[in-house]
Structure 1
């Protein structure tokens, strides 16, 4: 009997470590793809079940800092999460924070995604340092969850999401598609004009995601190699290449900025308003800040006027700074391999002004459209968190293996767009949190 007991004990001792070793990888796999999220702010997502009681408020402030300081308020430390939401605690401010090391890295592999523009596929182009993949944005006063592709697809079920704007809009869209592809492959169902207009479907959720090329949002004639070296912008007319489909859109993400730096002539009504960097033309130089404001104002006003009672969510992604430290065609134009600390890089100059204009126009449009039932309008403020990521651009790796034969005298750099995977993935993490709050508000309104 003692032998049997000892033998059983010995067997148990041997079996226990192997059991732990077999369970541990499964647990790590589960936490990686479906991380546990603990409520840390009033914006944490509540389960989307028919029995859920939503206690959030109907209105909430922008996901960018308010333009005037909010009034202070206090709440009991013993309050439950539901009571804190009911007490109208402010939403998470994702704008201010820092980049912290993240051992998990991105949720998708840039070499196998299939939808990334070639110039942003830094891994396949041989970028040797991969440290830029292992950073996460940590807001100062709240928690930003990892992207949940299942949740995103659930929130766009039976809907059409359109990303409208310039190449940064495309950058954000391709990041989104790559993250969603980890659980449901997108099907390209439409492509036109050298892929400037594309649409993907997700049959699993009857959802569509589209890209509309419109670098000014308003009507424009882009410069060409065979014509004048400047653009023509008609600031009081929206670009119908995207606006004509507005009645089919349930969610719109607008993203503009960098194309306004190019030479252009501006029109308002039947008259020339002025121009930017237009030497040789008999027009008044007026810069581009007021033009950006007018273009965004026209676009948001058009959305509000054409909404006609339809439920629609609108987001304006704020200006994304570039990080050129040298000449664009020389090695080392954006050489950083780590994020800036907040104290190392201030938001100032053009970056600050472009962001300020976009935030102000969003706030003004919210006031204009406040009587429109079903309209949600917010700014996705990514300017500051993007400013702190000089390491996230393709740089010379916009082309495959640029230094395979040594350092050439001339090498083109991309210090504007973002590697995928990369910092732009964070934009979509915040986007998802905004969508969660809108869904909670709708559910409460429908109670």
Structure 2
């Protein structure tokens, strides 16, 4: 019997050829495997290869829309990979910054969410702690003769001051630098907006300083300054920017018997309780609000509060007397309550300037008895020098601001200004009444050791305001 012949190649192929459905299944399987492997590679790549730099915030993705929708923001702050730190205010006693939280991350309002923010200060930089350095190149920031808005009470050169040394000092924080004041940035950010300073004559000095810093870049026909008949409200207009920088006279913030901006030298000072809206009506709609109040509370005796609906002119008044600290606390509570109810934290910024120091007793800095700021042309070089300013008031501010639900930026100018006994107007100002022969014989008797020459110290206050407005952390 013959062995069977081997099958032909074609017959073998016919018997082993897979079904057409096999190729469809195979194609689908390969496609799924490719997608699966690609996903695995992607996960591996993201988790194992990309994180070369430390992640800025553990467990959080970068919030790129954090500032892009806020008003005044020119760009988003850079992510540095550093943990956010509590805003430092100073090494002074009774600092008004946020309380420390030991052993846990900060859970307070992020400064990057504040309007106007364009960046951050250097890590660990406390702009209120530093020293004064002589600067012949960049100081003064403007000339007295170039700014027609300076009041005659502050034009020291015009009234005979022989030196200009007080104009040539620059504040240098420890370990960092202040950004240079940029008038164009300030005006662009205020386009269509209002900035207002509210308080007494010291805040008016800071207001005038701000106007002098800004007006230089404006053409003559693009700016104006007007005051109300009673001079309680002064408005500087930057017409091309549709912006205003304003000052409202309100020495106690609350209604008082010293509210007349022209005639207000009242010995028996009195404040009305629950009267914040008397001046507050002028503050509504403001985008940047800068408060100050201190000097007028320092009467040396208890402060009188008018109760009820009575008038300061009434012969019989319902009066309550409070200590200076308790009276000041009433004002702080009223101010913070008004801010919370009337200001939009997504559009507005609120600042509070601390106590402006006096130099009325030269013995406080080691001078001769009976002297004051008269004829002083040098700085106080004692580290952490503190004069006669009321530290209890700083404590009241700290306690009340820490309770505030609205972010208030504190400008702690007290100690850095305390070194500047040289910067007061002293006798070099307009005198509102003729000086007596006795006064002329003793200039110390009429030297103004409260207010400051312009240009000068208060320009630095506005550099600090500029820094905290745009670089709040």
Q: Does TM, normalized by the shorter one, top 0.5?
A: yes
Q: Which position in structure 2 is the counterpart of 1:234?
A: 272
Q: CA RMSD in A?
A: 3.9
**When the two structures are aligned, how many residues end up with a matched partner?**
360
Q: Equivalences for 1:276-295 in 2 at 5 Å? A: 286-295=322-331
Distance 1:268 1:182, change over 3 A: same
Q: Which position in structure 2 is the counterpart of 1:31?
A: none
User: Residue 374 of structure 2: which of 303, 326, 334 is its match?
Assistant: 334
Gaps of 5+ in 1: 1-45, 74-84, 273-280, 370-375, 442-447
Gaps of 5+ in 2: 1-66, 91-96, 105-117, 311-316, 364-369
Tell me by how many angstroms 1:194 deviates. 4.4
Tell me by how many angstroms 1:187 deviates. 2.9
Q: Which position in structure 1 is the counterpart of 2:37?
A: none
Comparing 254-263 with 390-399, which one deviates more in the overlay? 254-263
Structure-2 separation of matches of 1:49 and 1:167:
32
- Does the Cα contact within 8 Å between 1:122 and 1:397 map onto a contact in 2? yes
Q: Equivalences for 1:11-22 in 2 at 5 Å? A: none
For residues 207-239 of structure 1, what are the alpha-carbon distances to aligned partners after superposition, in whole Å with 9 as ceiling and x for unaligned?
Answer: 111100000001212289899741221233205
Q: Which position in structure 1 is the counterpart of 2:418?
A: 387
User: Residue 202 of structure 1: which of 229, 238, 249 is its match?
Assistant: 238
Q: Equivalences for 1:353-364 in 2 at 5 Å? A: 353-364=392-403
Query: 3-state DSSP class of the match of 1:391?
Result: coil
Q: Which position in structure 1 is the counterpart of 2:342?
A: 306
Distance 1:210 1:89, change over 3 A: closer
User: Residue 249 of structure 1: which of 268, 274, 286 is its match?
Assistant: 286
Distance 1:72 1:122, change over 3 A: farther
- Does the Cα contact within 8 Å between 1:159 and 1:206 map onto a contact in 2? yes
Q: Which position in structure 1 is the counterpart of 2:203?
A: 169
Tell me by how many angstroms 1:289 deviates. 1.8
User: Residue 98 of structure 1: which of 131, 138, 141 is its match?
Assistant: 131
Q: Which position in structure 1 is the counterpart of 2:107?
A: none
Structure-1 separation of matches of 2:410 and 2:256:
24
Query: Does 2:293 match 1:270?
Result: no
- Scaled by the length of structure 1, the TM-score of the pair is 0.70
Q: Which position in structure 1 is the counterpart of 2:79?
A: 55
- Does the Cα contact within 8 Å between 1:223 and 1:231 map onto a contact in 2? no
Tell me by how many angstroms 1:181 deviates. 1.6
Tell me by how many angstroms 1:296 deviates. 1.7
Distance 1:60 1:271, change over 3 A: farther
Larger Rg: 2
Structure-2 separation of matches of 1:91 and 1:155:
27
Query: Does 2:409 match 1:409?
Result: no
Tell me by how many angstroms 1:201 deviates. 0.9
User: Residue 346 of structure 1: which of 382, 385, 391 is its match?
Assistant: 385
Distance 1:350 1:148, change over 3 A: same
Tell me by how many angstroms 1:173 deviates. 0.4
Query: 3-state DSSP class of the match of 1:111?
Result: helix
Q: Which position in structure 1 is the counterpart of 2:29?
A: none
Q: Which position in structure 2 is the counterpart of 1:323?
A: 359
Tell me by how many angstroms 1:189 deviates. 5.1
Distance 1:140 1:342, change over 3 A: farther
Q: Equivalences for 1:369-380 in 2 at 5 Å? A: 369=406, 376-380=407-411
For residues 65-100 of structure 1, what are the alpha-carbon distances to aligned partners after superposition, in whole Å with 9 as ceiling and x for unaligned?
Answer: 336567699xxxxxxxxxxx9999746311211111
Structure-2 separation of matches of 1:407 and 1:292:
34
Structure-1 separation of matches of 2:140 and 2:194:
26
Structure-1 separation of matches of 2:307 and 2:232:
28
Distance 1:67 1:126, change over 3 A: same
- Does the Cα contact within 8 Å between 1:398 and 1:413 map onto a contact in 2? no
- Does the Cα contact within 8 Å between 1:380 and 1:430 map onto a contact in 2? yes
Structure-1 separation of matches of 2:233 and 2:120:
44
- Does the Cα contact within 8 Å between 2:359 and 2:387 map onto a contact in 1? no
Q: Which position in structure 2 is the counterpart of 1:426?
A: 460
Tell me by how many angstroms 1:269 deviates. 4.8
Tell me by how many angstroms 1:364 deviates. 2.1
Q: Equivalences for 1:5-84 in 2 at 5 Å? A: 54-55=78-79, 61-62=86-87, 64-65=89-90, 66=97
Tell me by how many angstroms 1:414 deviates. 1.0
For residues 256-309 of structure 1, what are the alpha-carbon distances to aligned partners after superposition, in whole Å with 9 as ceiling and x for unaligned?
Answer: 10011236753375399xxxxxxxx99786431221121022011111112367
